[in-house]
Amino acid sequence: MEERKNKGPLVLLTDFGYSHYVGILKGVILSYNPDALIVDLTHSITPFKVVEASYILYTSYKYFPKGSIFLAVVDPGVGTERDILITEYKDYIFIAPDNGLLSPFLDEGKNFKFTSFDRLGEISNTFHGRDVFAPIAALISTGESPKDIGTVKKNPVKIEWWRPEKIDQNTYQGIILFIDRFNNAITNIPCDYINKINEFRIKGIVIKDKFPSFGHAPYDTPFIYCGSSKFIEIGLREEGFAKKYDITPLSPLLCFIK
C-alpha cells in the first residue's frame, strides 16, 4: 500500500472547555495518526453557540499554514440525523456538523457529507466528537481525500451571520457575535461602516463615541472601534463593556448610519 503523506496541522475548535473531553479527542486522533500535529484554536466557545464558533473559525483560519485541517465540534444536534460536513475551501479542510458552522466557506468550497469509514467502532449518542469526528479528522490528516469517505453535499445549512439586516435606509439590525476575554463585544457590523455610523443602541444604551484604540478613549465611556477581525466592536477602557452592561452573544443591536 502506498504510504500516505501527512497533511498540515490538525486544528481543534470546540465548546468543551478545559475538560477531559479535549484530551480524549486528542487521544483518539493520535490513535489513528500518531504523527498528527494537533493545535488548539480554542475550546472556550460558549456552549451550543454555533454562530460564535463560525465567527471564530472564519476570522482565524487564514493565520494557519495552507494544508491545515480544522475540526470544529460545536454540535447541539449530536445524536440526531444532522449530517457531518467536510468542506475543502481554498487550501484548507474543515470538518463540522452541518448546522451552519461552516457557512462562510460553503459557497466557494467543495462540500461533502460523510458517509462511511470502515474503522469506526461503537458510536455513542452524545459524544460524536470522540467516536466520529476525531477519526474522520485523523484519517484526513494522513492524506485521505474527503471525496473518498463522503458524497457531494447539496444545500448544506447556512447562517449568514456576517450580513446585518437592513431595516430602512439608515438603520441596520445587528447582533453580538462574540464576547472576548477583555469583555469587548464584537458585532456583525463590518468595519466598512465605521465612518458612516451615527450611533449604536443595545439594551437601552446609546453609543456614539468612536476611537481608533483603547489608549485614545476616555475611561467610563463605551465606544465603538474597528477590531482586528474587521468587524466593529464595542469597548470600555480597562473595565469591560459586556460585563458591566450584561451583554451576551447574540444580543441584538441597532446601528444607525448617516
Contact between 8 and 64 under an 8 Å Cβ cutoff? The reply is: yes
The pLDDT value given to residue 222? 97
Average pLDDT of the residues in 59-78: 97
Please tell me the least confidently modeled range out of 4-8, 78-82, 239-243, 252-256.
4-8
| Residue 82: all three cell numbers together | 444532522
The domain ranges of the chain are: 10-152, 165-257
Residue 42 DSSP SS3? strand
The fraction of the chain above a pLDDT of 70, given in percent, is 98
The pLDDT value given to residue 5? 56
**Tell me: the pLDDT tens digits for 204-225?**
999 999 999 999 999 999 999 9
| Residue 205: all three cell numbers together | 444604551
pTM for this structure?
Answer: 0.94
Q: What is the mean pLDDT of the chain?
A: 95
| Residue 126: all three cell numbers together | 452524545
Name which CATH class applies to 10-152. alpha beta
Residue 92 DSSP SS3? strand
Give 1's pLDDT tier (boundaries 50, 70, 90).
very low
Average pLDDT of the residues in 20-38: 97
Half-sphere exposure of residue 84: CA atoms within 13 angstroms, side-chain side: 22
Contact between 44 and 20 under an 8 Å Cβ cutoff? The reply is: no
φ, ψ of residue 96 in degrees (nearest 5): -165, 165
- Tallying the residues shown for the chain, one arrives at 258
As a whole number of angstroms, the longest Cα–Cα distance in the chain is 66
Angstrom distances, CA of residue 40 to CA of 43, 44, 108, 174, 216: 7, 10, 26, 30, 33
Angstrom distances, CA of residue 211 to CA of 188, 219, 230, 237: 18, 12, 15, 11
| Residue 52: all three cell numbers together | 460564535
Distance, CA of 73 to CA of 201 (rounded, Å): 33
If one looks up domain 165-257 in CATH, what number appears? 2.40.30.90
